[in-house]
Structure 1
């Protein structure tokens, strides 16, 4: 299972000053901000200070970015607003906070789109890809973002940023074991960097090509590229590049375990001096633990020289291996790197097995296998291939459009007047079409926001009652502990446990539902087993003592509708009936499923006081909408019924209330 994990250097674009560096420069820039009169110059100073502090003091960098954002918002300068939103996203990405990073990156894209700043949009797409790859190990999403950035850089003819994005795509294909494509992307990046003369980035390309050759089992070419990259980094004084090179060189030593250990120790020292939280620094730390494990388990003949670097005692070697792996796992957890976290957890499992810690070894290995199966599934590979296919299709469409444009230009000399008329007509038609699509998109967005608000109101309603009963019981235990007998306490404990289990089941259902509905809050039709539906409803209302719930199904056929919508509608009708009965003794609520002509009818009937008169007339006044402690009103229930193409009828009888839900078979 053990292997050397290759984590590639990803480019997060930053602008660094060319003269003073470090704390002294940031302090001097902060003094300039105070006296600077020009708002635009002050905003640029904030951006320079952020980039200086980003590698040294993250907390101060975040404060500076927020000050810059507030300043540019007061100026109403969209380009500046987008820049600082991107800076804040970089802070959260570096901290492993994926959701916050994506939030600010998306806000930056929107601001830059309004400002018409395509290069900044491409930079943010690249940063989104870095976050998806480094934090979530979501290679499909990362590839989509990188291809979006790549298309913009190709159109803008920006060789520097184009090379960065090509390198990132090379890392994606390397992790997906498509080595030839990885090599192609890295070679393209190398050619561009040789032309621009950026030595630091040139070293990165050489390291990436070396890694690919190593996985292609061409060790000679791999080591040649690693050492060439190391020489470039040493000449440039780039500690991080040197650290990366030594990490990679250790991979080429193969079976020379002592040379591997020495190279990784050298890399670790350089990483500690440059960027100890870099994904590759964490990978090197974990791989150092793996080397000590290999020496402890494979060098039984003591062929590896033992000294201060490599202890002679086997138990001490295993202890050092476990220590380095545990440190790498903790750093991976802190930075949100799922790939490193899962891999080194699997490696730690093997060390624990040698230490006879079989229980922890088993659990860690199980976690490793589940995570790896998810990260490197064939489905991910297919999705990435699909992303590239979409990009090639877009390029073909662009080429075809260019050819058509050239044809019109050539024909313009003969039919100038006619061509101008046609172009004006097509322009007006395209603008009208764009406006129509924009209105449609805005309408869909409003609909989605309204559905989302109703969904969270539904969650509040379904969770309030079980939690309220639990809190009341806990208050009773605290204020009057002797009020309940032992037998009654046991009965209450059992019922609360059942209610908690039902609450957990409802939580899982709602979370699963919300995940499936995130793109558009619309029903997903599928076959629904009425018996299973009634079992889940029966479990949800099993804790009521004074109310008898009965569920009867006379329907043997399968209902085609959205299970979660149907469950929520019936659950809330039953809940409203239970709340109407209150503390009434001998309360009864019946739920019946039966055929009614060509429809299936679900009937909820109780022996309570009945519905209020305004509700019977579909009154949408304030009393029947979602409010504090009022639960889910009939307005929400009717909305959900409409969404699944059903109809709802409610009425009062002489003995209570009845609600009938009709669905087409």
Structure 2
């Protein structure tokens, strides 16, 4: 036996686990290829639920994959459904505490009433499996309330059926009939609305209820239906479903006293699930095998047959006791006591009869019965409260309709008043616009006159300068010393006037910048400096260097940046009065602080006062005192650029532009 266990856990189990993992991975890959987003999560949850009884490992793996995908998609409802699936799989393995932990997580992730109701229903089923019927009904009624709130008839039908079935398990025929009739009412309502009626494990039929109605219904099951199920499961190689169909067919044969056929079906079912982790199903098959052998004993009176029946009953009882399936344990205890009585072991028969009473008391004690009554009363009160709330809502809606009517009249009055007021405001705005247009027209006339005057003032000094240069070049002999001095003074005076006129133009353009707003875009710095290289290509006595990465981009206004770069380059060129080996270097890089542009020259340098206009708006304005620096400062502020300067007389200058 030990060698077999070692072989199973050391060799067979790892291969089996690997096969399940491969199936789960293949299914997940197929889902991922076909679906995306939240649809992928929903499909994964749907497929996982299909494996809830036939392949626990695959169902768990797919549910965990759905949780991971739902986390990425920020889809809490998908996560809640996945945790519910894990709870269902744990319940099917009789891991009830684990199942409740999963259901608790599922409820924490969703506020969707439909999903909450489905989780409550699953919790109720888990409590039913452990024969805790008070808790089972508590959560079934919670589920029913949720489905009634959202008006989902299909889920109401299933839940009412489950409530009826719970009362049937408890032997309460009156309440079974009450809730069966409610389920049939919902079914009729669905059929009238042409909605599909969900299938249930035991079909509900109209008619009188007797104490053993469950047996009567089971006798009506068609053996051929399960024969077809067995055939389909065999073709699909689905052992769990085949075992389930064999079990149900075996039970039918037992009720028909066809012992040989029952034994054949039940033994085949047991062989399929012997190594399965689904212990509840194994226990149920073993119990019915005990029934089959006991039925055989009534036919052949063989003590060996009776011992075989006892063996199966005891195996089933141990599993039921360990899994806390108390209601099944009660029935099995009674049958064990009956077998011991037949064998003449009355002490054992008495012990198991007492054990049966203990299990029965644990399920149906007075406290539990009172709790069940309170649960039903609470549900009825909640249902009445909901009806009252609906009536109150109807009255409130009528009141709202009246309020809306009065409100509509008020809105019409206010709308008319608003139109009159808007017309008045439009007239005022139009009048203001006409005034602004007049002012704009006047400003354009002033600007035109300004440029006409400026054109005249610029032409005279430039004309004098050109006339003097031509005269000096072509007829220098015509000028005596006095004439030459007079023309030179006149030319200098004209040049100074020209300089002042240009200063006026720059001051005017600077004033226009107050209305300017930069337009940011991704600027390729390598392309920008390629343009700069072309602009200053004529300065052959200066060596230019550019260290700019090809793929470095900067989010800023390209025109502003281009103007700043050209002005800084021009200032550096103007600094070289008498310099040998003159050199200007532009470089750019990106670090943890942001993007940086830097211009360096080996010129004569300058004092801090000479760069004052780059940082101080109050510095004197003028072409002789750094108007270009004023423009650089203002443009840098517009594009949120920080300027840093390092310069010492005789040691060159470095100016850095930084963007965070």
Normalising by structure 1, report the TM-score.
0.48
Larger of the two Rg values belongs to structure: 2
Normalising by structure 2, report the TM-score.
0.49
